[in-house]
Chain A
Amino acid sequence: GENVEQHPSTLSVQEGDSAVIKCTYSDSASNYFPWYKQELGKRPQLIIDIRSNVGEKKDQRIAVTLNKTAKHFSLHITETQPEDSAVYFCAFTGGGNKLTFGTGTQLKVEL
Chain B
Amino acid sequence: NAGVTQTPKFRILKIGQSMTLQCAQDMNHNYMYWYRQDPGMGLKLIYYSVGAGITDKGEVPNGYNVSRSTTEDFPLRLELAAPSQTSVYFCATSSGRGRNLTQYFGPGTRLTVL
Closest Cβ of chain B to A42, distance in Å, is 8
Which chain B residues (83-108) contact chain A, with CB distance < 8 Å? 90, 94, 96, 99, 101-108
Interface size class of A (residues with CB under 8 A): 20 to 34
Size of interface on B: residues with Cβ below 8 Å to A: 25
Whether the pair A43, B42 counts as a contact (CB closer than 8 A) is no
A-B CB pair tally, cutoff 8 Å = 51
Whether the pair A43, B105 counts as a contact (CB closer than 8 A) is yes
Whether the pair A43, B102 counts as a contact (CB closer than 8 A) is no
Whether the pair B43, A32 counts as a contact (CB closer than 8 A) is no
A97 at the interface (CB under 8 A from B): yes
Task: Please report the C-alpha to C-alpha distance between residue A97 and residue B93 in the assembled complex, in whole angstroms.
Answer: 10
Chain A positions 20 through 33: 1 when the CB is less than 8 Å from some CB of chain B, otherwise 0 = 00000000000010
Interface of B toward A, CB cutoff 8 Å: 31, 33, 35, 40-45, 48, 50, 58-59, 90, 94, 96, 99, 101-108
